[in-house]
Structure 1
C-alpha cells in the first residue's frame, strides 16, 4: 500500500473507532510500529491527529464532515477556520474542564553527571556516573501534573534529528493523556548538561534548540487544547513571541495562566499583567523585585513588589524554607516538608506541575501550594528530573508530616 493511501485510511479508521494504539494500527496495515509512528507524526504535523502514550486519536476540534473523502488531506481550510476562531471568547468554564491542564514548554535531552562537588574554573573532575534521559521544564512539569492526577496535554517542539524518536517514545510511554510534538527542520532537539553534587544540588547549562523555534501557526493549533483545559502552565524555555501568543489565547478563552519564570530573563515582566500566578524561586524573585530574597520576611516584601508590577498572585519557592504566597491581599507561609535530598534537579518542575494539577482540580491557591510542597519533597528523594511521586505517596507524606499554612 502506498504511504499516502495508508495515511488516508488511518484517518478513516480513527474516525470510526475514536482512538487506537500504534500496535493495533501496525497489525491492521501489516507494517512496523516505526512506520505507523512516522505516519502519525506526519498526520499530527498536518493537524489531523493527537498523539498520546502508545497511540493516537482524531483531533476533536476538526470538522469531521470535511474529512469524509479519503483523498482530501488538505487542511488549509481547517487552519483558516481555526485562526478565525481566535476571536471567540468563552464566557464560562464548564465542569468538563475540571482536572485538565495544558502545558506548553520545552523538551530537552538531559545529560546528568554526578560529582562529589562542582568543578572549579579550569578543573576536570571524574564523575561517579553519567546518565542520559528525558527532561526540559515543560516535559518535567507535564509529567508532574499527570502524576498529581491531572489530565494533561503537553505541547513542545523537537528537532529532526536522532533525538526525535527518543522524545516521541518518552511521551508515548510516560502516561501523559495527549501531546503535540512539533518538529523543526533547522534546529536540533534541546539539550541540557547537568552536574549534581553529593548534597543533591545542581548546576545546569541548556541549549534550547528547537524549543526556541515555535511558530505562530503552531501556536494557533493549540487553541482547542487550551480551550479544553482549566489551567495553562508555561515557562521561559521557548521563544517569547510564541509564549506571548499562547498566553493571549488563554486570556481570550478565560483559562487560568501559571508562569514559572525559569530560566530567568528580564523580559518576563512583559507577561506579568497577562498571567494569574507567577512562581519564581528566591533567585528569580530577587531579580524581579530588587529585593535580595534570603528568608520568609524578604520573600514577603518581594512578592508585594512583583504583584505591583502586574501579577495577580505571586508564589515564591524558598527551598528548605518552604513557600511564601501573596494573593493580592494576604500573605501566607507554608513550611517545607522534611526530605532526604538525592537530586534537586526537578524540584521546581515537580512543584509547578503538582500546583497546576491541584488548581485544575478545584483547590484554592493555599491548598494547591500545600499539596505541591509535599509532592516536591518526594521528588527530590528520587534520582532524575523525570522521576515523580504518585498521589498515594503524596497523601501518605501529608499524613505523616502535619504541615500548616499560616498567615504572615
Structure 2
C-alpha cells in the first residue's frame, strides 16, 4: 500500500506579527520560522510521518531552499525519486505573514513556471494519489498510469484550467472559497438549503464524492442524498498556515487505510485543528500518536 502526492513543494518563511499589517509602515519581526511547505509536499510529509509508504512528484531548484526541502522530505521517509531538481530554476518561496491575534495568514508566493516533465513512473505503484493542481501534466498522466488508484484533489481555489482533473477525481475535497467561486452560493450554516444548492452545483463538475471544508465551521460532505456536517474541533489557534494541506494529507492516509468517510473527515479535521496551535506549516504537522492522544482526551470514538 502506498500514497503518491503530485504538486507543489515550497520553502516557507513565516513572519509572526501581533496586529494586522498597515501599508507604508515598517515592522520589526524578532523571530522568523522557516520550513518546507506546499500542499502536496506537506501532505506527503504527513503521510510518511504516519508510516505510509509515500512518494512525491514535484519540482524544486538546485539551490539552498531546494536542498532544505529535499532534506526535510527525505528525513521523514518520503521517496523523492521523482522530485525534479532543476539547475535552471529558483525554488518556489512563500513569505507568510501571520496575525497572532487570530492566527490568520497572508501568503506571498513565487510559483515555478509551468513545465511538462516525465517522472520515472516505474518506481510508483500507488493505492492513493493526492493532487493539488500543480504539475498538471503529471497529474493527468497518473490517471492513465494507475487507473485503479483512489484519487483525491486538494482544491483550494477554483481554476477552470483544472477542470479535467476536478471532473475525474474520486474525492474532490475543496474549500468554501472553491465552492463559492464555482457555485456563486455562500454557504450559510443556519440555512441548509445553501448546502444542498452548493452540492447540486458542484456535482455538475464532479459526480463522485465531494467534501467542503469550512474553516471554523468544520466540514460538510454528501453521501447518497444526505448532507452531513462535521463540526470543527476547538483549537487555540496560533497559525492556520498549512492546515488545509494537513487536512488533505490525513484524508489521503485514511483513504489508504479504508476508513469510513465519516471517520476520514473527522480524523482529518482533528489533525488540522491540532496543527493550527503551532507556528509554521510543516513544523505544525502532528504525529499520529499526538492525534490519538487528542482523540482520547476528547473522548472521541474513532479508530486510527
Task: Report the TM-score, using the length of structure 2 for normalisation.
Answer: 0.89
Aligned residues: 298
Asked if the contact 1:313/1:328 (under 8 Å) is kept, the reply is no
CA distance in 1, matches of 2:106, 2:17: 11
Q: Where is the helix percentage greater, Structure 1 or Structure 2?
A: 1
2:39 to 121, 132, 137: 137
Matched, 1:378 2:277: no
Q: CA deviation at 1:139?
A: 1.1
1:161 alignment partner in structure 2: 63
TM-score relative to the length of structure 1: 0.68
| Distance apart, 1:374 and its partner CA | 1.1
**Deviation string for 1:22-68 (max 9, x for gaps)?**
xxxxxxxxxxxxxxxxxxxxxxxxxxxxxxxxxxxxxxxxxxxxxxx
Q: Which residue of 2 aligns with 1:397?
A: 294
In 2, Cα distance between the equivalents of 1:306 and 1:176? Answer: 33
CA gap 1:328/1:241 in 2 versus in 1, 3 angstroms? farther
Q: For residues 292 and 252 of structure 2, what CA distance do their matches in structure 1 show? A: 17
Q: CA deviation at 1:214?
A: 4.1
CA distance in 2, matches of 1:173, 1:367: 29
| Paired residues for 1:258-273 under 5 Å | 258-273=152-167
Counterparts in 2 of 1:147 and 1:311: CA distance versus 1, 3 Å: farther
Contact 1:195 1:203 in 2 (8 A): yes
- Cα deviation for residue 323 of structure 1 reads 0.8
State the partner residue of 2:14: 112
Once the two structures are superposed, the pairs formed by residues 6-405 of structure 1 within 5 Å of their partners are 97=1, 100-176=2-78, 179-198=81-100, 199-209=102-112, 212-215=114-117, 217-218=118-119, 221-222=120-121, 224-225=123-124, 228-236=125-133, 238-250=134-146, 253-295=147-189, 297=192, 298-387=194-283, 388-402=285-299
Counterpart position of 1:67? none
After TM superposition, give the deviation of residue 178 of structure 1 in Å.
5.4
- The CA RMSD measured in Å over matched residues stands at 2.3
Measured after TM superposition, the shift of residue 294 of structure 1 is 4.1
Per the TM alignment, residue 184 of structure 1 is displaced from its structure 2 partner at its CA by: 2.4
Displacement after TM superposition at 1:182 (Å): 0.7
CA distance in 2, matches of 1:404, 1:335: 15
Provide closer, same or farther for how the CA distance between residues 134 and 233 of structure 1 changes in structure 2, counting only shifts above 3 A. same
For the residues of structure 2 that align with 1:187 and 1:124, how far apart are their CA atoms? 31
Shift in CA distance, 264/161, structure 1 to aligned 2, threshold 3 Å: farther
Relative contact order (alpha carbons < 8 A, sep ≥ 6): 1 or 2 greater? 2
Q: Distance in 2 between matches of 1:257 and 1:280?
A: 14
Q: Which runs of 4+ in 1 moved over 6 A?
A: none
